[in-house]
Every structure is written in C-alpha cells, then in structure tokens.
Amino acid sequence: MKKDKSPLISLIFFLIGVGFTFISISSLTEANNTAGDKFYFLKKQGFWILVSLVALFIVSKIKIEIIKKLSTLIYFGSIVGLILVLIPGLSNQALGARRWLNLGIFSFQPSELFKFSSIIYFAILFSQESKRNLTNLIFHLSIPFVLIILEPNLSTAILSTAIIISMYYLSGGKIMPLFLFCLGLISLCFILVISSPYRSARLQTLINPEANGDSTSYHSNQIVLSLSSGGLFGKGFANSDQKYRFLPKISTDSILAIIGEEMGFFGVLIVLLVYIFLISYLIKISSLITTDQFGSLLISGIACWIAYQSLINISAIANIIPLTGVPLPFISYGGSSLLTLMASIGLVRNLEKRHSLLLYSDNDSDQKKDSHHRNSPHSSHRVNPPAPARPKNRLAH
C-alpha cells in the first residue's frame, strides 16, 4: 500500500482540533446563558465536524467529470438559496440581517454554499478560452453579488468577488479591463460603507477605537484587551478572563482573540504558520498540474478562499480593518462554513489522487539517475532534452 505523502489532511485536522478545543472551553458560559446547556455549542460543532468529514470523503471519491456536470446545478441552486434567505419566514433574522436559511432542525448560510459552488463554476468557465472574458465574469457574478449585499453581508460579497477575480486573473484574463473593473468595484463598496449607518460606525471605530466605548467600539476594544493580556506565552490553557463576560461572539468572530489570550503570541503564530503552510501547499499543487487547467484553477480558487477569509478575520482581530463577522476557516464555530470548506478540501484530495503520479512520484530519484545515464556522452541512449512547454496561463509562473 502506497504511503500518502500529502500533508493536507494533517493540516486540516490540526486546525479543526484547535477550533474544537477552544470552542469547548470558551463557549460553556455563553451556551448555558443562551441555550440552558453549557455543552450546546460543543455538541453542535461536533455534529458538523462529523458531517463535514463525511462530505470530504464523498467529494474526494466522486469522479471529477460528474462534479463538472453537477456544477451548474449546484451554482444556480446556491443562487436560489440566496433568494430564499431574503424571504421573511424562510430565514432567521439576527442583528437586522437575513443570512441563515431555516431548514427546520438546523439553519444554513446559502452564501457559504455560493463560495463553494462559484469556485467550481468559474473554474470551468475560465478554463475555456472562448468564455474567459470580463463580460462573462460580470454577467455571472452580478446577481449573486447583489443578493448577498441585500442580506446585508458586504464582507462575504467582497470575499466571494475577490476569489473569482483572482481566478480570472490566474486563468490569463486581460489585466487592464480587470484593473478598471476593480477600481469601479472598490468605489461601489466605499459608497456602500459610507451610506450605511452601521458600516460607517464600524469604520469610525477603526479610525478612533476610544470613541463610543460602550457601544460600537466595545467589541474591538475587548479583542485588543484579550490579545494584549496574553503576552508572549499567554495566561495558560482555559485561563481566559474575557470569555466569561466581556468578549462578544467568543466562538465565532473572536475565537482567535481567546487563543491569543490563553496561548499568547507564540500560540497565534503557530496557527498562522499552519495557515501559511496550507495555502502554500495548495498553490504548489495548482502550479504543478497546469496540464489540467480546470483542476489548477479550482485548487487556486480554494487557496484564495482560505487565504482571503483567514486574512479578513485575522486583520479584524488585529484591528487593521473593521470587524466583519467573517469566520476563521476550520477553527470558528459554525456548520455552514466548515461543511463547505471541508467539501472543497475533498475536491483537492480528489485532484491529488488524480494527479498523484505527477505530484508524488516514488521514482523521482531513479528517474533522475536514469536521465543522467541516458544523457551521458558515453551512453548510447543519449537524447536531447525536450523544449519547455509554454504555460497557457499565469498559474505556471
């Protein structure tokens, strides 16, 4: 039996393990106050971890050709979900936003499914040269972008758009039209921020954290206090003070602050290094399988998803950008995000196995020796090296 050389599953399990551990110790008081059961959030997250593992396994086994055939159905199904979530009675409203579709025994965020489905859909679209243009990008993205804005969920709309724009660029899309489109999009987002009272308040909090300490800036101030009190090595496991009464959204938006308070700077650094290693590994795979442009674009999109979402959450925790509500991948509490991210890792595993000979050849050293022998001036099998193939897109660079 061949040994699996991929570090992918080990990295994912580490992040999920960190998340489950800190959810278990940080959510007890909040769960007891809101649900009357201190293990409520822990049980739900455990359930979603099991479901996500099943999803990872199933997606890793399905033939890529079948996934391609289903991609349009999943993509437009996610758009239907984005429409349904805006209808009162079908969705759960929290803090003035409708982001969760009520499915009876549980709720689900269609915007998370859209991120997953859009990466597959646009990987297929942009791998076809005749369809790789800015018009197609705008046409297929505009409706879901508007629907997510209407929830309202500007941060997820920006995140999804950034992923798809990156995929378009990596596929070889024209730079100047893309640059102009991005300028227009940034201007639109700025108008949406300053025209919305709660978004504008968050921006003011970022500029002046001391203002309105009892209201708008309370959350960000408590996060900064958590991180600063942790120091280099932290207060020790399960010794956080902030989780008991001061810090809101402990298990979701703010979980990194609890990690920083209990494990210190070096604990947070380890988590960041694992993310960097994971994203670098995904980029490495995408650059090696450029003969499969769809697969290469797909993995690049997943790498962008994890990278951008991590960056947004970490930047908000570090008080670099306003708080957004974007969860930390694989660590924050939440079933929708975890399920779709694990399904995406299943796609990567699928492609890893499909291209295993290219990625993890056991005969690399033997091939190098054989190549050296064949090209030796004393060998009767000497051959001229083939000319390097010209990359079809920017993924090969």
To 5 degrees, how large is the angle CA 158–CA 162–CA 166? 175
**Residue 191: predicted pLDDT:** 95
Q: What's the pLDDT score for residue 182? A: 96
| Local structure of 107: helix, strand or coil | strand
The pLDDT tens digits for 244-259 are: 767 777 788 889 999 9
pLDDT in tens, 46-101: 999 999 999 999 999 999 999 999 999 999 999 999 999 999 888 887 767 888 89
pLDDT at 58: 97
Q: What's the alpha-carbon Rg for the chain, to the nearest Å?
A: 23
Which pLDDT value is given to residue 10? 96
Q: How confident is the model at residue 363 (pLDDT cuts 50, 70, 90)?
A: very low
C-alpha pair distances (Å), 295 with each of 2, 75, 224: 23, 17, 40
* Stretch (H or E) spanning 229: helix 218-230
Tell me the three state secondary structure of residue 158. helix
114-123, 254-263, 359-368: which has the minimum mean pLDDT?
A: 359-368
Q: Which long-range CB contacts under 8 A does 370-379 form with residues at least 24 apart?
A: none
**Per-residue confidence (pLDDT) for residue 361, from 0 to 100:** 65
5-9, 236-240, 339-343, 380-384: range with highest mean pLDDT: 339-343
Tell me: the pLDDT tens digits for 141-160? 999 999 999 999 999 999 99
Q: What is the pLDDT of residue 375?
A: 47
What is residue 396's predicted lDDT score, i.e. its pLDDT? 59
C-alpha span between 210 and 81 (Å, rounded): 39
Q: What are phi and psi for residue 67, nearest 5 degrees?
A: -60, -40
- Angle at alpha carbon of residue 214, lines to 211 and 220, rounded to 5°: 70
* Placement of tokens 């996060």 in the chain: 223
Burial group, residue 288, by CB count within 10 angstroms (0-12, 13-18, 19+): middle
Contact 224, 209 (CB under 8 A): yes
Confidence (pLDDT) at 205 = 79
Stronger pLDDT, 225 or 73, i.e. the higher one = 73
DSSP letter at 385 equals P
Position 248 scores a pLDDT of: 75
pTM confidence score: 0.90
Q: Closest Cα partner for 352 from 273, 296, 277, 276?
A: 296
Quick one: what percent of the chain has pLDDT higher than 90? 61
Write the single-letter amino acid at 177.
Answer: P
Lowest-confidence segment of 34-43, 216-225, 301-310 by average pLDDT: 216-225
**Residue type for 54, please?**
V
Query: Mind listing the pLDDT tens digit for each residue in 367-396?
Result: 444 444 444 444 444 445 444 444 456 665
- Strand residues in 34-164 grouped as ranges (E): 91-94, 97-102, 107-108
Distance CA 29, CA 34 (A): 9
pLDDT digits (tens, 9 = 90+) for 169-218: 999 999 999 999 999 999 999 999 999 888 888 888 788 776 655 555 77
Q: Which residues of 64-96 are buried (b: 16+ CB within 10 A; e: fewer)?
A: eeebbeebeebbeebbebbeebeeeeebeeeee
Q: In 10 A of CB 375, how many CB atoms?
A: 13
pLDDT of residue 245: 65
Q: Which residues of 148-182 are buried (b: 16+ CB within 10 A; e: fewer)?
A: bbebbbbbbbbbbbbbbbbbbbbbbbeeeeeeebe
Q: How confident is the model at residue 309 (pLDDT cuts 50, 70, 90)?
A: very high
Cβ(250)–Cβ(258) below 8 Å: yes
Measure the CA–CA gap between 252 and 335, rounded to whole angstroms.
11
Tokens of 72: 């349009």
**pLDDT per position as a tens digit, 261-279:** 999 999 999 999 999 999 9
Give the pLDDT confidence score for residue 346 in this predicted structure. 97
Q: Greater confidence, 252 or 110?
A: 110
Residue 93: its pLDDT value, please?
77
Percent composition of the chain: helix, strand, coil (DSSP 3-state, to 5)? 70, 5, 30
Q: Cis bond leading into 152, ω under 30°?
A: yes
Q: d(Cα 91, Cα 86) in Å, to the nearest integer?
A: 7
